[in-house]
Chain A
Amino acid sequence: MSGIPLDKVDLEARKRAAKILHEKFRKILEDILSGKAPKLEIPKRTLANTIFDKERGILVLGEQKLEREFLDMGEARRFMQTLLMASIIYQALIENEYPTIRDLYYRGKHTIIYKDPSGRTRQENTWDEQAESDSVIRDIEVFTGLLREDMLILSKEKGKVVGNLKIRSGGDVIDLSKMGHGAYSIESTPDLIDFIDWDAEFVLVVEKDAVFQQLHRVGFWRKYKAILITGAGQPDRATRRFVRRLNEELKLPVYILTDSDPYGFYIYSVYKVGSIQLSYESERLATPSAKFLGVSMTDIFGWGRKKPYLTETERRNYIIKATDADIKRAKELMKYSWFRSPGWQRELKIFLEKKAKLEIEALASKGLKFLAFKYIPEKIETGDWIE
């Protein structure tokens, strides 16, 4: 890769990340050389150390830290793994590479073969599963304060976007309104994107890829000047960062459309406040002002003077019975502080009462035009959303 000229944005990002890694880990070496027991102080990534920052409306890491000491028998392996991973990332930054997390897993995975004091040959893998190396990457992120995007680590691209928006990426200018039936894949390093020109009034994020395609083909975004995005299920970091940048830099309101079930509700909250597992990155990934457009329980069943969007017969045809897992999840959500608003408590209560859920596809089945040209615009217009 090193022969190919890289753009300036990319090179700057590399320099910055490499410098931080070098500074942070040089201290460990200094400790060793001066006879001090080396240790890494890493903020804890646990639910107990995850705090909902009400003011900013996002999940953040608390103050708790764990000390990963080399001389601690229980930590030595993880200590080794952390240094190994850091050195691989560091070298990749310097050599202008773009490893994926899978690449990092393979580059670092080898077998240590040694003889124990009784002379028996033993062996041990630096790590076995990718889950192990992924978790080490997360440790390095919180230890250095650098997100993987900052370290030019790529992940699988899941997110897609279309709309009246021109961007520059890797030196090319791309017009996201000219993608045909396809869409632009949101790249792993969304911070390296420049927004050049746009003509849009809001961002609509849909949970499901199929619904995204349907709305795209029916010309939804053109008609309503929207930027249409999908994270295809649980959104990856790049999609979340991209949404956040649209909201923050282009000042566009963000609406989110998911299935009407606890899983869909949680996906919304990931866009909005962050995820428990990755709360350390919420500061840059979360979009606290994102609004849950639907499908809400009140859309299905109505509430007070609000009329339901579905008729009695439609309900009978489209509604699915909630599973035990759904119910358990809903009860958990009720306890999370970021689901405490009256709107959400009402949603969850209705869900628990009716034990019923609905997929967005059901609305499309009722009629794609109904979904695209009635349901969505009407809800936006009347402010019928939950925050």
Chain B
Amino acid sequence: MDKVPATKSAKQTSSKEKSNKEKFREISVAEFFAKNKELAGFANPTRALYQTVRELVENSLDATDTHLILPEIVIRIVNRPELSGSNGSEQRFTVIVEDNGIGVPPTVMANAFGRVLFSSKYVIRQTRGMYGLGVKAAVLYGQATAGQPLKVVSATKGSSYSYMKELFIDMKKNEPRIVSEGQWRRRGSWHGTRVAITLMGDWRRAKNRILEYIKRTAIIAPYAEIIFETPDGEIYYFPRLTRKLPRPPREAKPHPHGIDLEHFKIIIKESKAKTLLELLVQEFQSVGEKTARAFLKKIGVNPNLNPKKLLRKENEELLRSIVDEMKKFEGFKPPRSDYLSPLGEDLIKLGLKRLFEPEWVEAVTRPPRAFEGNPFIVEIGMAYGGKIPPMNEPLLLRYANKIPLLYEEKEDISWKVLSSINWKLYLINFPAPLVVLVHIASTKVPYKGVGKESISEIPELEQEIKNGIQEVARRLRAYISRKMKEAETLRRITTLAKYIPEIARSLAILSKPPEKWSLPSPDEEKLIMDKMAELIATRVPTARGSDGKTQTIKAIRSIVESARTE
């Protein structure tokens, strides 16, 4: 704190001085995010309610499907009138999310929920969470707007107890302040986590987004069972459609292309490797002994060098050049992608089918690629027609590591790619009933912000998204063109076939000679009708192959049989 000046005149001068003098102090990361709520997606009560649901649901899914557990997730938003302002404008809600996941060990529970930047996901592995911030940002917002602590109950898979904690975050110190805790014998075999956060929210405005978010989560995770209870007492139930889980992600070592100086130093410090060669082989992915030798030979560094020596001051130059060369060296295999967890074509199609009931759906999982040493896989799904309403542009569903992204659509790389597609080439004229799903799976998703709403324009990513969309769009074109041809055939057949009964009757009459006149019998008419059906089937070109003619005759017959005159 500044000293208060004693005299009046001094006071006057000091206020001038004050404006010239910068004041310095340090704040904790908790305080930082408490002050800059919008950075984490908590800009206003509407966004905050939405973001809270998101953070909790994503943690729950990370605690289940990543560990091969079929997710069962219950989401409830409860109105808290007793905490709300008298005029009803500033409403408070409690968001409760319960899962059947792996649970949080009691020892880390307080930190996991009460210390900003504390996470189990700071490893090279494809998970929804990655910053160690999500749930804490919600707690910070909650305690600032509703003054209520977070409450968490959790049981890990093996443990015989369930643990409960209620806590605030001490903003200054960035550490949990526990207000109550408890533990009890686990009931049955339940394991999982139940988190409750109370905050100021605007349900009326957030409702559609939250519903949309849950729906899109159900699209991408059709193996999950999701129940959502709204403050209005409505219940949305998304049953599980399949028991097939995507292969779980696995933790990988860093890839040499993705390394930087500081990162390399930490690796050297923590490694038990005796030689540089050993270090490269043990601590990095995609580096075998042969490759490592070739690399060191190329840059002229002794493979038997003790890596710890590189940390010495005099070797700083050498260390930097090794890192630079590592990033450039072409001999390393690309980062391993088999540790990624793409959804797979079947699950994407299943999810799209359930929500849109389209007439056509296709999906593709593209081959893995990498940017800056991070492997990634792009997946594209497309649904067309059916119950999808025609729209002026394709409906884009964006996902990253299985998280639906709803906000900041126009800033997203997928949007950029999608708007560059010339749909006319694929026989689509808008308004059209078209949904495009883009999923990016990576050990590092290049979000534009920690709110995880849009993805940056990485050229490798952009190219892959484009390739994927084009690949599926080509299949869509084939489908549409076949359909158009079939429709054209049917239209032609119908144009002709509807006249068959009338013509057959007329010809039957005209073919009776005047001298021996009698009204023709139904059999005579039938014979002419059959011949005409056959004639149309032979002469009108069909889109289908060899079974085309029989199909056509069938279609003609059914038109003829349905025809009557009045």
Measuring CB to CB, which residues of chain A are less than 8 angstroms from any residue of chain B? 15, 18-19, 21-22, 25-26, 28-29, 32-33, 35, 37, 70-71, 73, 76-77, 79-80, 83-84, 86-87, 90-91, 93-94, 110-117, 121-122, 124, 126
Contacts and interface: CB of A to CB of B under 8 A. Distances in A.
Top 4 nearest A-B pairs by Cβ distance? A87-B506, A115-B562, A114-B563, A83-B506
A201 B558 CA distance: 68
Contacts of B495: 73, 76
Interface stretch (B137-145, B204-212, B529-537): B529-537
Interface centre among B497, B505, B511 (most CB of A within 10 A): B511
Interface centre among A73, A87, A91, A93 (most CB of B within 10 A): A87
A222 B498 CA distance: 61
11 contacts: A21-B510, A35-B538, A37-B535, A83-B502, A86-B510, A90-B510, A111-B565, A115-B562, A116-B559, A117-B490, A121-B562
B265 to A, nearest CB: 70
Contact of A115 (B499, B502, B528, B559): B559
Interface string B534-546: 1110111000000
A84 B502 contact: yes
Given A37-B535, A114-B562, A115-B562, A29 B494 contact: no
A26 B510 contact: yes
Contact of A117 (B493, B501, B509, B531): B493
A19 B509 CA distance: 13
A121 B498 CA distance: 12
A37 to B, nearest CB: 6
A33 B497 CA distance: 16
A19 B514 contact: yes
Contacts of A76: 495-496, 499
Main SS at interface, chain B = helix
A79 B499 contact: yes
B514 A29 contact: no
Contact of A18 (B514, B539, B562): B514
B492 interface: yes
A84 B508 CA distance: 11
Given A73-B495, A84-B506, A87-B506, 20 more contacts: A22-B510, A26-B511, A29-B528, A37-B535, A70-B496, A71-B535, A73-B496, A76-B499, A77-B499, A79-B503, A80-B502, A90-B509, A91-B509, A110-B566, A114-B498, A114-B559, A114-B564, A117-B558, A124-B498, A126-B565
B529 to A, nearest CB: 10
A47 to B, nearest CB: 30
B547 to A, nearest CB: 16
B566 A28 contact: no
Contacts of A37: 535, 539
B507 interface: yes
B86 to A, nearest CB: 59
A10 to B, nearest CB: 15
B559 A113 contact: no
B509 A33 contact: no
A42 to B, nearest CB: 16
B559 A32 contact: no
A70 B493 CA distance: 12
A32 B511 CA distance: 12
Contact of B534 (A15, A35, A117): A35
Contacts of B539: 37, 71
B184 interface: no
A276 B499 CA distance: 32
Nearest to A24: B510
A112 B498 contact: yes
Contacts of B503: 70, 79-80, 83-84
Contact of B566 (A87, A91, A113): A113
A111 B501 CA distance: 12
Given A71-B536, A87-B506, A116 B531 contact: no
A121 B558 CA distance: 12
Contacts of B509: 87, 90-91
A53 B501 CA distance: 43
Contacts of A73: 492, 495-496
B69 interface: no
B275 to A, nearest CB: 74
Nearest to A84: B506
Nearest to A110: B565
A25 B490 contact: no
A90 B540 CA distance: 31
Contact of A33 (B499, B531, B558): B531
A361 B39 CA distance: 98
Contacts of B528: 29, 32-33
Contact of B514 (A15, A70, A110): A15
A21 B512 CA distance: 11
A113 B499 contact: no
Contacts of A110: 565-566
A76 B532 CA distance: 13
A114 B502 CA distance: 12
Contacts of B497: 114
